[in-house]
Amino acid sequence: MRKALTGVSNNVSQNIDKIKVWAHSFMKHVPEGEVTLIAVDVTPEDIHALKSNGIKFHAIGSTPGVTINDSRLIHTANWINDSSCDLFMVTDVFDVCFQSDPFEMMDLEQYDFFAASEGVLHNQEPWNMDVARKAFSRYAEYLGPFEVICSGVMGGKKDAMIKVLTQMQKTVDVSPRLHDIRDQGALNVLIHYNLIKNCKIFKPNEGWAVHCSLSGPTFQHIEWGLGKIINEKYGLPKLYENVLLTHDNKPYAIAHQYNRIPEWNEKIIAQYV
């Protein structure tokens, strides 16, 4: 099966070092895979930066009045539909580093779509609950006792990815514009209402992806008490040399939001920047 990575970015030339970590780490660990950045409002400087670093791109225009997070979904679905690949990773771009091949952990006989939990319930985490109450108010109380699933790292089979991304876009489009980032809320509505079939949600201790905004030593982790909650349920990640590990020393396939912790960021990106 042919494998691919894609994600959406604007301001490419200003963020080329972050994009290099994302693209080149995938190329390192999935050498037979393909990488294509969906680049928004590209400039000549952006094109030069991408070509100079061997990164393919697909140019699109921005959607006036809508954030990249909320408009990227249908653009990504359309790109996947036109791709000749079979398996996809769809991720954030500026804060994702691959540490091994994430496809190797996907049970493709049993599941079609894959994502990872952040390890806390909606009603334990103020930001996600705020999104739910503002943009998805009819679902908010139902979502409360369910774990937050991160939309920044998703993967799966071609047809499943197109369907999920399209469903997410439709859910975002009909929700009130009372929050500037609604894509993750839309994903959680779909997952927790069982509207995505054959879906595998990795737990933080399984080693597929770590979302460091909550699991790492950040403000939310410490001041909101989320680190204690995650530690009691799943254990906490740790950095060994330049690799993020689970509490029991398994390397995570994907490190996400590592840049929220300056000392982790410095060591993780050093081999790519």
- Based on the structure, what is the number of domains in the chain? 1
Crossing angle of helices 183-192/68-82, nearest 10°?
60
Residue 115: C-alpha distances to residues 177, 206, 223 (Å):
25, 12, 26
SS3 200: strand
Per-residue model confidence (pLDDT) at position 46: 98
Reference 197, options 86, 80, 111; nearest CA is 111
Per-residue model confidence (pLDDT) at position 220: 84
Q: What is d(CA 246, CA 237) in angstroms, rounded to the nearest whole number?
A: 5
Per-residue model confidence (pLDDT) at position 136: 96
Q: Identify any residues that bridge with 58 across adjacent strands, giving them in sequence order.
A: 38
Per-residue model confidence (pLDDT) at position 68: 85
Q: Which domain holds residue 109?
A: 3-269
Per-residue model confidence (pLDDT) at position 176: 85
pLDDT averaged over consecutive 10-residue blocks of the chain (273 residues)?
Answer: 97 98 98 98 98 98 85 96 98 98 98 98 96 96 98 98 98 88 96 98 98 92 90 97 97 97 97 94
Per-residue model confidence (pLDDT) at position 43: 98
Torsion angle, alpha carbons of 200, 89, 9, 147, to 10: 10
Q: What is the CATH number of the domain that holds 11?
A: 3.90.550.10
- Predicted model pTM: 0.96
Q: What is d(CA 242, CA 172) in angstroms, rounded to the nearest whole number?
A: 37
